[in-house]
């Protein structure tokens, strides 16, 4: 199919090694790019602060907006998340190791502007359960009819997997649970992707705890879940209110460099 040929071409074009990734300082430092780099640095620091990191592994990325360049900005690797600053973010117009996952999603979903890939304990636990993510609480409603699944294929370094990830994520899912691996949360902003990951881990923690109850769990009515999911698409959109407050917290802590630094 045309889609298959396009994905194969994309895989060839991006098949490079991590060492060839370019520091983002090679980009024109427009305010748009500087803001995006700072948001990504904030996302990394917040991931460490909330203990959602995995040493130097996993990755958070943001698509470079049209007119500002090609490709996307992404985790540098080989650094602890708590130490990452805007100047550390890499520009990957060709490839970094994470291109198998992030590249496939960006190529498939034009509206997605940011992706967060995590290996948090509860999410990894849920990724092993046959039933997958169970929606048991109000926070879980934002994931209603918006979670896709992808089977584990080993460490994602085979570019042939891109087409399969593309098929798994589909046209509308905002969360991809990677079986026996972890998850990706998607967003139209860095803040949306990060806050969605935060709540995904919380929802997974609650599920894992609830499963230990010998009397079972009380699941919410599906009609109520559907109603609440629509509410999350409005004024309760993940990141809309939380993200500015989270960035201010980092500024008060003094760990996130100001834009003019």
Q: Is residue 52 included in any domain, yes or no?
A: yes
CB 84 within 8 A of CB 73: no
pLDDT in tens, 148-189: 999 998 887 778 899 999 999 999 999 999 999 999 999 999
Token pair 């060492």 in the structure block, residue: 19
Q: Is residue 259 included in any domain, yes or no?
A: no
Q: Is residue 78 included in any domain, yes or no?
A: yes
The whole-number pLDDT of residue 157 equals: 72
The whole-number pLDDT of residue 260 equals: 65
Q: Is residue 143 included in any domain, yes or no?
A: yes
Q: Is residue 226 included in any domain, yes or no?
A: yes
Reduced to 3 states (helix: H, G, I; strand: E, B; else coil), residue 133 is: coil
Span 31-54, mean pLDDT? 96
The whole-number pLDDT of residue 206 equals: 97
Q: Is residue 258 included in any domain, yes or no?
A: no
The whole-number pLDDT of residue 17 equals: 33
Q: What angle do CA 182, 74, 9 make, to 5 degrees?
A: 85
Number of structural domains, the chain? 1
The whole-number pLDDT of residue 56 equals: 93
Nearest to 99 by CA among 167, 166, 156: 156
pLDDT in tens, 187-241: 999 999 999 999 999 999 999 999 999 898 999 999 999 999 998 887 777 777 8
What range defines the domain where residue 26 resides?
2-253
Report the relative pairing of strands 147-150 and 175-178 from DSSP bridges.
Answer: parallel
The whole-number pLDDT of residue 3 equals: 39
The whole-number pLDDT of residue 23 equals: 53
Q: How confident is the model at residue 95 (pLDDT cuts 50, 70, 90)?
A: very low
Whole-structure pTM value: 0.86
| Mean pLDDT over each residue of the chain, to the nearest integer | 87
Q: Which CATH number is 71's domain given? A: 3.40.225.10
Q: Is residue 224 included in any domain, yes or no?
A: yes
The half-sphere exposure of 87 on its side-chain side, counting CA atoms within 13 A, is: 5
Neighbours of 80 (CB within 10 A): 12
Reduced to 3 states (helix: H, G, I; strand: E, B; else coil), residue 91 is: strand
Q: What is the DSSP letter of 183?
A: E
Q: From CA 81, how far away is CA 45, in angstroms rounded?
A: 5
Q: From CA 51, how far away is CA 143, in angstroms rounded?
A: 22
The whole-number pLDDT of residue 22 equals: 52
Among left, alpha and beta (phi > 0; psi -120 to 50; other), residue 248 is alpha
Q: What angle do CA 186, 188, 194 make, to 5 degrees?
A: 50
pLDDT in tens, 7-35: 443 444 443 333 344 555 544 589 999 99
């Amino acid at each position: 199919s045309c889609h298959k040929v396009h994905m194969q071409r994309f895989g060839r074009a991006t098949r490079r090694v991590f060492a060839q990734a370019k520091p983002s300082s090679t980009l024109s430092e427009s305010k748009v790019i500087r803001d995006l780099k700072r948001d990504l640095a904030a996302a990394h620091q917040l991931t460490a602060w909330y203990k959602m990191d995995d040493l130097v592994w996993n990755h958070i990325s943001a698509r470079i907006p049209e007119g500002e360049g090609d490709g996307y900005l992404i985790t540098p690797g080989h650094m602890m998340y708590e130490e990452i600053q805007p100047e550390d973010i890499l520009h990957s117009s060709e490839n970094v190791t994470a291109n198998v996952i992030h590249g496939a999603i960006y190529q498939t979903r034009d509206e997605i502007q940011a992706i967060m890939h995590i290996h948090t304990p509860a999410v990894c636990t849920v990724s092993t359960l046959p039933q997958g993510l169970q929606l048991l609480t109000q926070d879980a409603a934002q994931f209603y009819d918006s979670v896709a699944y992808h089977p584990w294929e080993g460490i994602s370094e085979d570019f042939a997997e891109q087409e399969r990830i593309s098929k798994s994520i589909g046209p509308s899912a905002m969360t991809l649970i990677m079986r026996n691996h972890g998850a990706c949360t998607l967003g139209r902003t860095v803040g949306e992707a990060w806050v969605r990951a935060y709540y995904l881990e919380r929802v997974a923690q609650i599920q894992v705890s609830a499963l230990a109850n010998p009397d079972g769990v009380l699941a919410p009515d599906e009609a109520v879940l559907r109603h609440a999911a629509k509410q999350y698409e409005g004024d309760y959109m993940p990141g809309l209110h939380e993200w500015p407050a989270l960035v201010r917290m980092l500024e008060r802590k003094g760990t996130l460099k100001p834009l003019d630094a």
